[in-house]
């Protein structure tokens, strides 16, 4: 078990290190972006990125005087690697905060969180689902079963931690691209899945899956009623330095996106269209995540994030402890 975890971590670390090497000698793409004074922001197509999607579609970045282009990636690790190699300037909410932290650990000070998204039993992002006809009613019944999760070491680690915290033993974790999870459940290839929204809502709407647990990371992994701060919007230190004239506008536009989501709630989900697999009536069922801007962070938030990082250290994903507080952007 431990050797497998280390090998997965080492693979990601090697990729990030090679990305750093490439960044040293690759200027073309980022130079062009700099000339256009454009910020390239990567996103993973999940519901947590809603404030960013809304800010782009409602012209909130343009109103703040900054040109922002959204760049879609298939996994959070791909987003992080693109940041490290300098191909993009930052990321939107929804990108795994532990993947960002691990990347920063390879080049301390290279990544700063500007907005964090959290989930708990009220702000639901994470669920465990099973086929709608399944006799399984509780997560603990997944012992010895095949359980899928999204790609990447972050998803795998959290899936294992959730199952372990719920008393599951001998489950087989299966990594799958997001788009393949629901078909695999329908086909009987897997017995359950740890998923992020909108997957659970899509499965419910199509009447092919049901939820057997929501807010599962907060409940089964962190404890003490701590929220799961699972993702973040972030900028690279290179961008903060080289495109300093665009930073205030970007932060203002992003904050306006967060404010819009907070005020509009479920109505804001109209902007999930085109960025995620959600469209039409389905958008009315997707839960809204909670958001914490860099200038809103309080001591309990740092405690919750540090607890998550400590879990990843305990499970040998992080080679050594990582301080949560040092990763949060501070405006000078």
pLDDT of residue 216: 94
pLDDT of residue 318: 94
Q: Where are the domains of the chain?
A: 2-120+227-327, 126-214
How far from 181 is each of 78, 216, 302, CA to CA, in Å?
19, 18, 33
User: What per-residue confidence (pLDDT) applies to 21?
Assistant: 45
Separation between Cα atoms, residue 141 and residue 132, nearest integer Å:
15
Find the length of the chain: 332
- Cβ atoms of 279 and 273 closer than 8 Å: yes
pLDDT at 36: 56
pLDDT 10s per residue in the chain (332 long)? 444 444 455 544 445 444 444 444 444 444 444 445 799 999 999 889 999 999 999 999 999 999 999 999 988 889 999 999 999 999 999 999 999 999 999 999 999 999 999 988 788 889 999 999 999 999 999 999 999 999 888 899 999 999 999 999 999 999 999 899 999 999 999 999 999 888 999 999 899 999 999 999 999 999 888 999 999 999 999 999 999 999 999 999 999 999 999 999 999 999 999 999 887 888 888 889 999 999 999 999 999 999 999 999 999 999 999 999 999 999 87
Question: Could you tell me the sign of the dihedral formed by the alpha carbons of 281, 284, 289, 295, in that order?
Answer: positive
- Per-residue pLDDT of 19-77, as tens digits, reads 444 444 444 444 444 445 799 999 999 889 999 999 999 999 999 999 999 999 988 88
Do residues 185 and 208 lie in contact, with contact meaning Cβ atoms separated by under 8 Å?
Answer: yes
Structure confidence at residue 10 (pLDDT) = 52
pLDDT at residue number 224: 87
2-120+227-327 and 126-214 have identical folds: yes
CATH number for 126-214 (one of 3.90.1150.10, 3.40.630.30, 3.40.190.10, 3.40.50.1980): it is 3.40.190.10
Q: What is the pLDDT of residue 25?
A: 45
CA–CA dist 138, 174 (Å, integer): 19
Find, among 119, 120, 193, the residue nearest to 156 by Cα: 193
- Collect all residues with Cβ–Cβ distance below 8 Å to 8 and sequence separation of at least 6: 153, 156
pTM of the model: 0.82
Superfamily of domain 2-120+227-327: Periplasmic binding protein-like II (3.40.190.10)
């Amino acid at each position: 078990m431990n050797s497998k975890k280390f090998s997965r971590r080492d693979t990601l670390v090697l990729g990030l290190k090679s990305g750093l090497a490439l960044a040293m000698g690759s200027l073309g793409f980022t130079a062009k972006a700099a000339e256009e004074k454009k910020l390239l922001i990567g996103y993973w197509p999940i519901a947590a990125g809603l404030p960013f999607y809304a800010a782009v579609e409602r012209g909130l970045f343009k109103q703040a005087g900054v040109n922002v282009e959204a760049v879609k990636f298939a996994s959070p690790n791909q987003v992080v690697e693109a940041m490290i190699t300098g191909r993009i300037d930052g990321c939107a909410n929804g990108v795994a905060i532990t993947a960002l932290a691990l990347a920063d650990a390879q080049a301390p000070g290279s990544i700063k969180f500007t907005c964090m998204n959290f989930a708990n039993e009220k702000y639901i992002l994470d669920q465990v689902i099973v086929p709608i006809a399944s006799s399984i009613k509780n997560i603990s019944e997944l012992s010895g079963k095949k359980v899928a999760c999204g790609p990447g070491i972050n998803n795998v680690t959290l899936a294992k931690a959730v199952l372990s915290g719920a008393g599951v033993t001998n489950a087989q974790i299966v990594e799958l691209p997001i788009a393949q999870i629901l078909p695999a459940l329908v086909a009987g290839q897997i017995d359950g899945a740890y998923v992020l929204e909108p997957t659970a809502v899509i499965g419910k709407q199509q009447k092919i899956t049901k939820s057997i647990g929501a807010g599962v990371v907060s409940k089964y992994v962190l404890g003490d009623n701590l929220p799961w701060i699972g993702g973040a919007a972030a900028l690279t230190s290179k961008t903060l330095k080289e495109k300093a004239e665009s930073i205030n506008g970007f932060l203002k536009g992003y904050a306006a996106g967060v404010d819009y989501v907070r005020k509009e709630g479920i109505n804001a989900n109209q902007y999930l269209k085109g960025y995620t697999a959600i469209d039409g009536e389905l958008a009315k069922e997707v839960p809204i995540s909670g958001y914490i801007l860099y200038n809103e962070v309080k001591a309990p938030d740092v405690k919750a994030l540090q607890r998550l990082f400590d879990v990843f250290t305990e499970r040998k994903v992080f080679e050594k402890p990582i301080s949560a507080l040092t990763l949060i952007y501070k405006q000078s």
